[in-house]
Amino acid sequence: MSSETLTLVETPLKVWLEHDGSLLRLRLAKPKANLIDATMIAALDSAFSEHLSSPDLNGVILDAEGPHFSFGASIEEHLPEQCADMLASLHKLIIKMLDSPVPILAAVQGQCLGGGLEVVCGASQVFASHNAEFGQPEIKLAVFAPAASCLLPERIGQANAEDMLFSGRSIDSSEAICMGLVQDVSDNPQQAAVDWFERHLEPLSASSLHFAVQAARAQYLNRIKEKIAQVEKLYINELMKTHDALEGLTAFVEKRKAHWENE
């Protein structure tokens, strides 16, 4: 690993710079689950805040330690006492990723579920392993995925997004590449992302690349900001006042079967 800067303190996220500071590397480092919990969200937000303003930056690679990218968000943080703060911080992070002045490349292996997939959807390009699986299983707990409800229709089309969001099923890397969720499948997605950066982004003027990213994402970013604000209110003000939403989350935490009242 060739690096100029490496964060050595105990952290859920490893952060370092490569390629003379033109590539920011971020690695989820709480395997095997790599939960997108409050601590991980704060670490990602801090890393982006610190490094995205660099005039020399040409790209970011986000990957993960262990056999899986992420099992998703913390279910306990979805309970009514914490969900408003959790959603606000997660959505702030995703907006920051979408507003990044440089492309973010995500490298995914194993399970990439729930909040993990929502974070990946904030990336420009997704590189996957052959064993990667992607899913938004929230509906099985009687809740929904707010950010994914906004991001997936944009990335893979309305019908494919509704398939994933309404069924809660996972798709493998072959189906993900057919849908357009993934751009590349290989034995080593981390190296594939590095190779793509070196071939396509590193030779460019960082200044001009920043303008190109801003131009390409302007309307997309505005649409997502508006949609996320709407669905966040729907989740907190309406969904979380229903019996079944609380029952689904509580049953998962208590490791028992949920009992729906359809209200």
- pLDDT tens column, 27-69: 999 999 999 999 999 999 999 999 999 999 999 999 999 999 9
Q: pLDDT grade, residue 14 (50/70/90)?
A: very high
* Residue 205 domain-assigned (yes or no): no
* Residue 221 domain-assigned (yes or no): no
Residue 1 has pLDDT above 50, yes or no: no
Q: pLDDT grade, residue 80 (50/70/90)?
A: confident
**How many structural domains does the chain have?**
1
Q: pLDDT grade, residue 7 (50/70/90)?
A: very low
* Residue 127 domain-assigned (yes or no): yes
* Domain limits for position 179: 5-189
Dihedral pair phi/psi, residue 106, rounded to 5°: -105, 135
Residue 241 has pLDDT above 90, yes or no: yes
Q: What is the CATH number of the domain that holds 54?
A: 3.90.226.10
Q: pLDDT grade, residue 10 (50/70/90)?
A: low
Cis peptide before 32 (omega within 30 of 0): yes
Report strand pairing: 59-64 vs 23-28. Answer: parallel
* Residue 158 domain-assigned (yes or no): yes
Mean pLDDT of all residues in the chain? 95
Average pLDDT (115-132) is 98
pTM, two decimals, is 0.94
Instruction: From residue 200, give the alpha-carbon distance in Å to each of 114, 179, 195, 261.
Output: 30, 23, 8, 53
Residue 161 has pLDDT above 50, yes or no: yes
- For position 79, what pLDDT does the model report? 87
* Residue 9 domain-assigned (yes or no): yes
